[in-house]
Structure 1
Amino acid sequence: MANQKQTHWEDDNIISFTPSARFLYEQGMKRYNKNEVYRAIKFFERAVGVKGATPYMSCQLAAALTEVGEYYKSNKIYHGLVKEQVEDYHALYYFMANNYAHLGLFEEAKKHAEHYLEHAEDEEFIEETEELLELLSIEETEQEYSFEDELIVKQEEANDLVREGKFEEAIVLLEEIIKDYPEFWSAQNNLAIALFQLGKIDEALFVIDELLEKNPGNLHGMCNMSLFLRNIGRIKQSDLLIERLENIYPVLADHRLKLGITFGVVGKYELAYKWLRSLKAQGYDGDMNFYYWLAYSAHEVGNLRMAERAWEMVTELDMTKQGKEPWVH
């Protein structure tokens, strides 16, 4: 995002403004201090991707991710900073220990907490770390959690690879997960998406078909299948699935998001707006994909004020989207 430019007028001349890491970081801190953590994270993420970013900015991003429960992403940042051996990097082991404890990875939490106590150059988190180790001694049962630990780590790694567009790497890991955990439906859905993105259409359809045969009510599977079919021109089959989806009343936020975006993609704007608006009403603060389809569906159902507000969030997250509303072009 470092090369994104915003145009301003000054003295009848056009000048370009490329946000600096410091500017983006300060914008993030403004949101963070207002307890708008999700919005702050977007600015921190952009800041750390710009030339001039400091390790402290990365630490702030990691801390914010911890606040919203993104413990794996947070630790990924901390691990990178440890590898670089930034100043006072041993203190990061305390934060990683806490994240691992939240994930239920008690062995990893214990290992990182003990490392901090052994190498800490100050006593800032000594008491907290000792309390954490005491809690871990009560909770930890190696045999009980070894199975869950492996699945959680692999799942998060695979999700990151898919989000980053590293589909070939994701496929290798997802196939490994499915082999070990054949009823872990999330992995099968992500495998199908990765295959489809690589143009392996038949393989993607086969994976989703198998998933729906074993778990017929899987909402993500139904949504993915409907979009796959539509993408390859099998509209009638897609419509049959869409009709089934219209009768579903999801409770989980993840399901409402998936359903809302799916309806948006297929042009069912009233239903898309219904589910995405319900998330917004509950305080949900999603990514650019969420705001894009909320804005688009709001405009199509006539709620222009909501469309404008949601599109402002899209452009705040990606300045290159300014003036590119999908209902205009």
Structure 2
Amino acid sequence: MIERTSETDGTVGNVIPVTLDANFFFERAVRSLDRFQYEKALKNFRKAVEYEPENPVNHCNMAGILSEMGDYEGSNGILRHVLETIDPQMTECHFFMANNYANMENYEEAERELVMYLEEDAKGEYMAESEELMELLQYELNRPAPLARIRSREGVVEHDKARSLLEEGKFTQAVKLLEEITENTPDFLAAHNNLALAYFYMGRFTKAKECIAEVLERDPGNLHALCNLAIFLQYEGDREQLPALLHLLEVTVPFHREHVFKIATTMGILGGHRTAYAHFRRLLKDEAVEGDAVLYHYCAAAASNSGLYAEALRCWRQAERLDPGSVVPRFFAAQLQKAIADHQPMPQVSYNYQLPFQEQLKRWKDDAGAFTAEVRNNPLLRASFFWALRYGDAATRSQVGEALRWIEDEELRELMREALEQETQPDAPLQESSLLHLQRLIGGAEEHPAL
């Protein structure tokens, strides 16, 4: 209990006088927060504001409590008051408002506030968090943010370009750009993650793991890095670190859709098809993605690989309705129906939205023009060529070498140049005819740089 004495009472005795000021109520609020007593914390933060109405920190603390309680509009009202009336230079309020808007699923406003923070904050105190939020908003809005200038962090616009290069399958170009970004801004975690993926697509496992290690050293809970690391360990055949990491991912239930998709695809690659299926089903319940044929294919693949054939067939039929021009859902639906009719298990289905490699080769032999267009427009196919030339068996490498005779492309010339440089292992040589063609193609690039 707080004892109070009148000004005329000169006897204080053993009563310790208490100074009622902003610090007093701030400390009481913090103690309430430690006990998760949000109503009491809010009450005390409000008292702190009454004692120091011009202190923007007190207002932000009150806004933070309202956000924790789910009153995002009330929180934003206080943050806007801080910027408009108390301290326009407290730019982190834009970041806090962006998070509130994202929680309200008002992604346009969230993007607007986040861009304002990125463009105005010279210190970038919340840059790591901003990178994650920006990736979420780009996923939700299905477009890059309109960033014109960023004082707090160089490299974000360049990173968007690097991501586009990855999506186009131009891995060597993406690597060069991402290496430059990570060197100039070493705490840009999203760039490190994408650089790791680019290295991985090109078969440079050691470099890929080094990138992931740097991310996890700075942010041990980074979901993208953990998922990427699990995939890398799987390809390496790791039996020590992978089980614990796999268990961690299996019990993780992410909130944001981008994270749900990341962990779903990761679990599918790792063979956790039931877990992947559950996450894909969560995604398909979202009205914003219910018309996505590719997502239905992912869900079908997870269901088929889990033995849920009726659900798999239903998803492929839906994908076929949504994307009638694609042969992919029709091919797998027919393959599944044949397996059911023959009372045979369905072969494992890749999550990539494309035909199996051998099936593609059969079709391309009859239409070289379609092959050229597909290679130029399909980054997954280009990645498969990187892998096949570097790590495939002799038969696969030979088939890829023969297929590449149908196309001449700068990125593929770079791919084959690297493949030839590594062609020193006697246990996995390309056939002589394929090597001769690769050499001829690379030599032709120097004579005809415009090709």
TM-score bracket for this pair, using the shorter chain length: 0.5 to 0.7
Query: Secondary structure of the equivalent of 2:332?
Result: coil
Select the residue among 228, 232, 236 that pairs with 1:232: 236
Change (3 A) 1:275 1:199: same
Unmatched tracts of structure 1, length 5 or more:
1-65, 73-101, 106-144
Partner of 1:69: 141
Match 2:316 to one of 294, 303, 311 = 311
User: Post-superposition shift, 1:172?
Assistant: 1.1
Q: Report the Cα offset of residue 269 of structure 1.
A: 1.9
- Calculate the aligned-residue CA RMSD, in Å: 2.8
Shift in Å, 1:204: 0.7
Tell whether 2:248 aligns with 1:176.
no
Matched residue, 2:204:
200
CA contact (8 A) 1:257 1:290 kept: no
Aligned match of 2:245: 241
Structure-2 separation of matches of 1:305 and 1:186? 38
Q: Residues 253 and 307 of structure 1: is their aligned pair in 2 closer, same or farther, counting only changes over 3 Å?
A: same
Greater Rg over alpha carbons, structure:
2
1:155 matches 2:159: yes
1:293 aligns with 2:336: no
Decide whether aligned partners of structure 1 residues 206 and 310 sit closer, same or farther in structure 2, where only a CA change above 3 A counts. Answer: same
Within the candidate set 129, 142, 146, 1:103 is matched to 146
Q: Deviations over 1:34-55 (max 9, x none)?
A: xxxxxxxxxxxxxxxxxxxxxx
- Give the number of aligned pairs: 195
* Code of the aligned partner of 1:291: Y
Distance 1:288 1:201, change over 3 A: farther
Paired residue for 1:209, among 210, 213, 218? 213
Distance 2:249 2:295 in 1: 19
One-letter amino acid of the structure 2 residue matched with residue 264 of structure 1? G
> How many angstroms apart in 2 are the aligned matches of 1:194 and 1:260?
20
Residue type of the alignment partner of 1:207? C
The answer as to whether partners of 2:273 and 2:305 remain within 8 angstroms in 1 is yes
Give CA deviations for 1:225-267 in whole Å, capped at 9, x if unaligned. 1111111211442222111112222111111001011111122
For the structure 1 residues 284 and 297, does the alpha-carbon distance in structure 2 shift closer, same or farther, using more than 3 Å as the test?
Answer: farther
Q: Distance in 2 between matches of 1:180 and 1:313?
A: 46
Aligned match of 2:171: 167
Residues 186 and 314 of structure 1: CA distance in aligned 2, closer, same or farther (over 3 Å): farther
**Aligned-pair CA distance for 1:312:** 3.3
Q: What is the TM-score when the length of structure 2 is the normalising length?
A: 0.39
Task: Give the secondary-structure state (helix, strand or coil) at the position aligned to 1:199.
Answer: coil
The answer to which structure, 1 or 2, has the higher relative contact order (CA under 8 A, 6+ apart) is 1
- How far apart are 1:168 and its partner, in Å? 0.7
In percent, how many aligned pairs have the same letter?
32
CA spacing shift, 1:218–1:149, aligned 2, 3 Å: closer
Deviation at 1:301, TM superposition (A): 4.6
- Whether the aligned pair in 2 keeps the contact of 1:288 and 1:314 (CA below 8 Å) is yes
Question: Within 1, Cα distance between the matches of 2:251 and 2:143?
Answer: 35
CA displacement 1:59-84 (0-9 Å, x = unmatched): xxxxxxx9x73444xxxxxxxxxxxx
Distance across 1 between alignment mates of 2:207 and 2:294? 26
User: Which amino acid in structure 1 is aligned with residue 272 of structure 2?
Assistant: K
Q: 1:252 to 1:308 in 2, by over 3 A?
A: same
Q: 1:276 to 1:149 in 2, by over 3 A?
A: same
Amino acid at match of 2:141: G
Paired with 2:275 and 2:255, the residues of 1 have a C-alpha distance of 15
Structure 2: state its 5+ residue gaps: 1-137, 337-345, 348-451
The 5 Å alignment of 1:121-160 reads 145-147=149-151, 151-160=155-164
Tell me the alpha carbon deviations over residues 160-216 of structure 1, each in whole angstroms, 9 at most, x when there is no partner. Answer: 111111111001111122223322221111101111111111111111112112211
- CA distance in 1 between counterparts of 2:152 and 2:147 reads 8
The corresponding residue for 1:265 is: 269
Task: Give the distance between the partners of 1:298 and 1:320, measured in 2 at CA.
Answer: 16
How big is each residue's C-alpha offset from its partner over 1:124-178, in whole Å with a ceiling of 9 and x where there is no partner? xxxxxxxxxxxxxxxxxxxxx4336854421221111111111110011111222
- Name the CA distance, whole Å, in 2 between partners of 1:192 and 1:262: 15
